[in-house]
Structure 1
Amino acid sequence: MEEKKEESKNKNVKKANLLDHNSIKHILDESVSDIVTSRGYKEDVRLSNLKLFLGAIIIVVALVAQFYNKKFPENRDYLIGCIALYPFLLSIIA
């Protein structure tokens, strides 16, 4: 009986490089996620999906501002709108 417990403990052992902060954070995030989901809670990823969607919108706004069909003096108002919209959308994500 004790051998099965030791085998199950060894299967769930997660290793991380102690000098790499990102690796440690990733292991901690995975461990917390495993504990929470094992207790019957569901993971809610709506906020993450919303942030990804808003990030894609920000990228589209930046690309449209960069590659707009008209030259600078003609598209001045459009560029000002894109520049004003960028930090607004970025502040929503944070």
Structure 2
Amino acid sequence: MEDTKAESSNKNVKKTNLLDHNSIKHMLDESVSDIVKSRGYKEDVRLSNLKLILGTVIIVVALVAQFYNKKFPENRDFLIGCIASYPFLVSIKLLWIHLL
């Protein structure tokens, strides 16, 4: 009887490197997520998805500005628009992350 209890408790034991802060944080996040899900709550990932979408838009703007077909004097206005929109989008993303 005691062996089955020990085996069942060993199945739930999670191990991590105590000298690695990222590993500890990941393990704590995973454990809290498991506890919350076991109590019947659903995980809401909409905020994470919106941050990923906004980050993708920022990367696309940077890539389009870098690899635009025309050479510099012809695409001056386009580059100014991309350069102006990049810090604006990054600041929106940072505000979104810190305020929510």
Shift of 1:2: 4.5
**RMSD of aligned Cα (Å):** 1.5
Alignment of 1:8-87 (within 5 A): 8-87=8-87
CA distance in 1, matches of 2:79, 2:71: 11
- Supply the distance in 2 between the matched residues of 1:83 and 1:65 (Cα, whole angstroms): 8
Structure 1 segments, 4+ long, off by >3 Å, are: 1-5
The percentage of aligned residue pairs carrying the same residue is 84
Query: TM-score, structure 1 length as denominator?
Result: 0.88
Q: 1:5, 1:93 → 2: CA distance? A: 48
Distance 1:48 1:3, change over 3 A: same
Q: Distance in 2 between matches of 1:66 and 1:52?
A: 21
Alpha-carbon separation, structure 2, partners of 1:49 and 1:40 = 22
Q: 1:19 to 1:69 in 2, by over 3 A?
A: same
TM-score after normalising by structure 2: 0.83
Residue 4 of structure 1: how far off its partner (Å): 3.6
- C-alpha separation in 1, matches of 2:91 and 2:2: 53
Q: How far, CA to CA, are the matches of 1:45 and 1:37 in structure 2?
A: 13
CA apart distance, 1:28: 0.6
SS of 2:64's equivalent in the other structure is helix
What is the Cα deviation at residue 83 of structure 1? 1.3
What SS does the aligned partner of 1:71 have? coil
